[in-house]
Amino acid sequence: MSNQAVVSLRNVTKSFGSGGVTAVQSIDLDVRPGKFVSLIGPSGCGKSTLLRIVGDLVEPTSGEVVVNGKSARQARLDRDYGIVFQDAVLYDWRTVAKNIAMPLELMGWDRARRAERVREMIGLVELEGFAEHHPWQLSGGMQQRVSIARALSFDPALLLMDEPFGALDEMTRERLNGELLRIWEASGSTIVFVTHSISEAVFLSSRVVVMSPRPGRIAATVEVDLPQPRNADTREEPRFFELVTEVRDRLREGGLDEDRTAPGEGELVRTEESS
């Protein structure tokens, strides 16, 4: 059981609308427990759509999706995953503590247990002293940490992250990358992470899945053999640069196909970004 894939996609295809714009096509992917897997690719390659299919927020047109050994829908109903979007999407009428407690309230945890867990999570994302603040009183990076704490509060087996640091400045992003690795190690959860930053993908992941656009397909998979734990020095190592170069080359190979299909398919991009 422990070695069974947390996420398993077989021949998954998603088309939007009757026009049949294909967002992702024939995706096969396995994510083993405790792994950190990144999906990387240019805008319009369907990586966000793929993440939303795993979360049962979008239904695939065809193919099989197994999450935690059950259908994606059942996994969602069993609250097997937490999700973090590009924006923190905090409920701004709730304090930091009550934002983190929201899923716990919905799951019927009693007040004492909620308070206990919220305190733990605030410690995990290092926001001590901000429990009673409202979201608008926090910086963007702090808001995103609240969002991560909320996603992990109920201890899901799987964490889905859709470009969570994409809206942050470079310095904040690198700091939160380091924190995310620490949180990942502490929580032992499995993470599927969507990004369009090559260095971020290499720095964080056990495996980088490179996608190509129109229709979205898996172009290559790059195993990242950088040792754990990783820190700021990891970014200076020669092996880090080799892997960054490899991912960039794979992206470029996938991108050549894009030129042949020509521009003007903005519809697909819009579908993904509005999602």
Would you tell me which residues interact with another protein (CB under 8 A)?
Answer: 52, 55, 57, 76-79, 81-83, 85, 87, 89, 91-94, 102-103, 105-107, 126, 130, 133-139, 141-142, 172, 175
If the CB atoms of residues 51 and 211 are measured against another protein, the closer one turns out to be 51
By three-state DSSP, how is residue 93 classified? Answer: coil
CB of 138 to another protein, least distance (A): 6
Q: 211 pairs with which residues across the strands?
A: 218
CA–CA distances in Å: residue 98 to residues 106, 108, 126, 189:
12, 14, 16, 23
If the CB atoms of residues 34 and 178 are measured against another protein, the closer one turns out to be 178
Find, among 211, 201, 191, the residue nearest to 6 by Cα. 191
If the CB atoms of residues 154 and 218 are measured against another protein, the closer one turns out to be 154
If the CB atoms of residues 101 and 210 are measured against another protein, the closer one turns out to be 101
Spatial separation of the C-alpha atoms in residues 80 and 100, rounded to whole Å: 17
Spatial separation of the C-alpha atoms in residues 148 and 39, rounded to whole Å: 18
CB of 219 to another protein, least distance (A): 28
Side-chain-side CA neighbours of 246 within 13 Å: the count stands at 17
Spatial separation of the C-alpha atoms in residues 95 and 30, rounded to whole Å: 37
CB of 171 to another protein, least distance (A): 10
If the CB atoms of residues 78 and 155 are measured against another protein, the closer one turns out to be 78
DSSP for 12-52, written as a single string: EEEEETTTTEEEEEEEEEEE-TT-EEEEE--TTSSHHHHHH
E-assigned strand segments in 133-262: 158-162, 190-195, 207-212, 217-223
CB of 19 to another protein, least distance (A): 22
CB of 225 to another protein, least distance (A): 28
If the CB atoms of residues 30 and 87 are measured against another protein, the closer one turns out to be 87
Cis before 156? omega within 30:
no
Spatial separation of the C-alpha atoms in residues 257 and 263, rounded to whole Å: 12
If the CB atoms of residues 102 and 220 are measured against another protein, the closer one turns out to be 102
Spatial separation of the C-alpha atoms in residues 127 and 200, rounded to whole Å: 23
CB of 149 to another protein, least distance (A): 14
CB of 243 to another protein, least distance (A): 27
